[in-house]
Amino acid sequence: MIQVHGYAAQHAGAPLTPFQFERRAPGPHDVQIEILYSGICHSDLHQAHAHWGAELFPMVPGHEIIGRVVAVGAHVTKLKPGDYAGVGCMVDSCRHCSACEEDLEQYCDEGATWTYNAIERDGVTPTYGGYSDQIVVEERFVVSIPETLDLKGAAPLLCAGITTYSPLRHWKVGPGQKVGVIGLGGLGHMGVKLAKAMGAQVVMITTTPEKGRDATRLGADEVLVSRDPAAMASHAASFDFLLNTIPVGHDVNPYLALLKRDRTMVLVGALEPLQPALNGANLIFGRKSISGSGIGGMAETQEMIDFCAKHGVVSDVEVVPIQQVNEAWQRLEKNDVKYRFVIDMASLRGEVA
Amino acid sequence: MIQVHGYAAQHAGAPLTPFQFERRAPGPHDVQIEILYSGICHSDLHQAHAHWGAELFPMVPGHEIIGRVVAVGAHVTKLKPGDYAGVGCMVDSCRHCSACEEDLEQYCDEGATWTYNAIERDGVTPTYGGYSDQIVVEERFVVSIPETLDLKGAAPLLCAGITTYSPLRHWKVGPGQKVGVIGLGGLGHMGVKLAKAMGAQVVMITTTPEKGRDATRLGADEVLVSRDPAAMASHAASFDFLLNTIPVGHDVNPYLALLKRDRTMVLVGALEPLQPALNGANLIFGRKSISGSGIGGMAETQEMIDFCAKHGVVSDVEVVPIQQVNEAWQRLEKNDVKYRFVIDMASLRGEVA
């Protein structure tokens, strides 16, 4: 076993405090990674506060992990010690269902094994995430990080990046299309950068002109203020695709009016009831669709990393030491970050040393 | 002008009473039709009761029209006097927008001209529907009815038939697929017959075992009682397509659990808020979709008629004289019909004579 240092919540709502635990020694197919950066995702807060039910404590959050490979098992082929590697939201899946066979492990019929707040497929071992100094993961669930990518800005690609990249690819966003990204947070700012890099005309749809100005800096061609009914009406039936990153329940009806006939709005953030209620008429008139999409498979995650390296896309991050993680969470709850906190794990090694 | 006899509601909620009015004499592109049968659609009641707002009175309902051609304009090519003809929900559209150019007149950017409770594109002439003895319609919005089709059973094809046929075709339903039809009424019973004729394995999803038995008679391979949680769980993640014909707001969440990954449920009936609210998680986990679909274009309506003639598909109807239309409406409000009322317009001519 490997001794690991991290930060954990000991019970629902508890502050994160130092926590020492063990991980398995790398098996023949495993990669052992010294964690350099770990992004803070809003879902970390949801789970640590037990908003979604069935949470496991102590909980070491973190599923946007960038590190350096320190050891590999005998059968590992795609990584070697010294390489940079990434780990996202999953560390395992059943590997034999149709989803796994189609490289869509996130939709595994038996349920993927999440990077933290889950139980390994042995049925007993809890998973602990990236707010820690080392992790051991099977090769299939590790991506290779090119040296040219800014490492701290790359950490959020493992969740916020793939969550927005996957639907943009699946619904074939590209040149000649007018694409709206709804909501400017960790997900939304990646959506703008990625849709722009894919060649689309990108409109940031947000609540205030102030947020809009920053979206323009990120690459948005235009800003649509959703609280301005006249502006919304002027964009009616003009969008080829809408990426909806709002992380809470909300009224989807005004956004459906923005879609052209036969087009789709994809939800990636709202794991909640959408209220006020969706009106069926807003789908029937124009044969429109609402879909959802969750992260991406491992092959597509590697494709996304390579796409970001090629196009120079990383997340806008604010780097914090692990000792300030509770303050960072408090600020994140107020959306006070542009656009993703990333923990520099060197701070943890300094503490342990 | 042509003198026409029909039945109309004089104001919202009024019973239908005899009403005499004029229609235009057929122009060079028009077809004049002696109406033989007119189906009763649930939307007739909604509009006559002004449930949807902006209704026009007097209102002559009816958009499931079968008749015999009595005269055609000089430029009409696809029909001649003596032919059987059908008219559905639309009698005109702008004809130059992308939807019209793609034979999707029902999604016309400028709005289709509905067969009743609407204003012709001249901006002044009200449209009057099929509860009448004659109608004059431009050739593009008239379909040819093969002599082999049972005429009274064919009337509901013009709305209930095309409303269910179009999404089954658009989402490519066919052999090897497990297809669920949700709700057994005028739309649902056509959905079962058409999906079966397209070669799918058809499951009727309804509220009671009694309704299910009748669905089996209509051709359903299996029945799933939606109020039985164990039965619903046993069909989880097994459907390739769901055609949701429920005509009122309802909880869509339990049905989404029936879909396989990457599959779609299409709403064709519920022009209302869907409550309790749709939970975004039910789309995100499995990359599922909810879409809507409204009737079908004129080319597809002809395709549907020809498909029904080839496969011997018509609606199960109960024929009533026009003098009993108010009683038929009352029974329809209680779902007391298997599965569509059709008015025999010979009864109107007898009254007028």
> B31: Cβ–Cβ under 8 A, 6 or more apart, which residues?
B69, B71, B72, B73, B76, B79, B85, B136, B137, B138, B139, B142
Distance, CA of B344 to CA of B37 (rounded, Å) = 5
Chains A, B: CB contacts within 8 A come to: 124
CA–centroid distance for B21 within its chain = 25
Residue A353: pLDDT over 70: no
Closest chain B C-alpha to A70 CA, distance in angstroms: 34
Q: Are B123 and B20 in contact (CB under 8 A)?
A: no
Q: From A102, which residue of chain B is nearest by alpha-carbon distance?
A: B261
CB atoms within 10 A of CB A312: 11
Pick from A98, A170, A287: which is nearest to B292 by CB?
A: A287
As to burial, measured by CB atoms within 10 angstroms (0-12 exposed, 13-18 middle, 19+ buried), residue A323 is middle
Per residue in A296-352, pLDDT tens?
Answer: 999 999 999 999 999 999 999 999 999 999 999 999 999 999 999 999 999 998 876
Contact B290 A287 (CB under 8 A): no
Picking from A274, A282, A283, the nearest residue to B280 by CB comes out as: A274
Position B351 confidence tier, pLDDT thresholds 50, 70, 90 = confident
* Closest-CA distance of chain A to residue B262, Å: 9
User: Taking the domains of chain B in order of start, what are their residue ranges?
Assistant: 2-159+296-352, 161-292
B274 touches chain A (CB under 8 A): yes
Whether A285 contacts chain B with CB within 8 A: yes
CA-to-CA distance for A61 and A67, rounded, in angstroms? 16
Q: What is the DSSP string of A12-63?
A: TTPPEEEEEEEEPPP-TTEEEEEEEEEE--HHHHHHHTT-SS---SSB----
- Put simply, the answer to whether A274 touches B271 (Cβ < 8 Å) is no
Determine contact: A57 vs chain B, CB below 8 A. Answer: no
Q: What is the pLDDT of residues B71-102, one digit of tens each?
A: 999 999 999 999 999 999 999 999 999 999 99
Closest CA to B130 of B95, B159, B150: B159
Question: What kind of architecture, by CATH, is found in domain B2-159+296-352?
Answer: Alpha-Beta Complex (3.90)
What sign does the CA torsion over B346, B70, B166, A285 have? negative
Cα B187-B188-B189 angle, rounded to 5 deg: 95
Say yes or no: B294 contacts chain A, CB-CB below 8 A.
Answer: yes
ipTM summary value:
0.96
Whether A297 contacts chain B with CB within 8 A: no
Q: Which backbone phi and psi does A164 adopt, to 5 degrees?
A: -95, -35
Instruction: State how far the Cα of A274 lies from the Cα of B281, in Å rounded to an integer.
Output: 10
Distance linking the first and last C-alpha atoms of chain B? 20
pLDDT digit string (tens) for B127-185?
A: 999 999 999 999 999 999 999 999 999 999 999 999 999 999 999 999 999 999 999 99
**Topology of the domain comprising B161-292:** Rossmann fold (3.40.50)
Shortest CA gap A188–chain B (Å): 16
A265 contacts in chain B (CB < 8 Å): none
The answer to whether B134 and B30 are in contact (CB under 8 A) is: no
Name the β-bridge partners of B81: none
* Nearest-CA distance A26 → chain B (Å): 31
Q: Give the pLDDT band of residue A63 (cuts 50, 70, 90).
A: very high
> For the residues B35-48, what does the mean pLDDT come to?
96
Tokens of A352: 């342990």
What does the DSSP assignment read for B20-81? EEEEPPP-TTEEEEEEEEEE--HHHHHHHTT-SS---SSB-----EEEEEEEE-TT--S--T
Q: pLDDT tens-digit profile of B251-298?
A: 999 999 999 999 999 999 999 999 999 999 999 999 999 999 999 999
Q: Residue B353: pLDDT above 70?
A: no
Q: Do B271 and A281 touch (CB under 8 A)?
A: yes
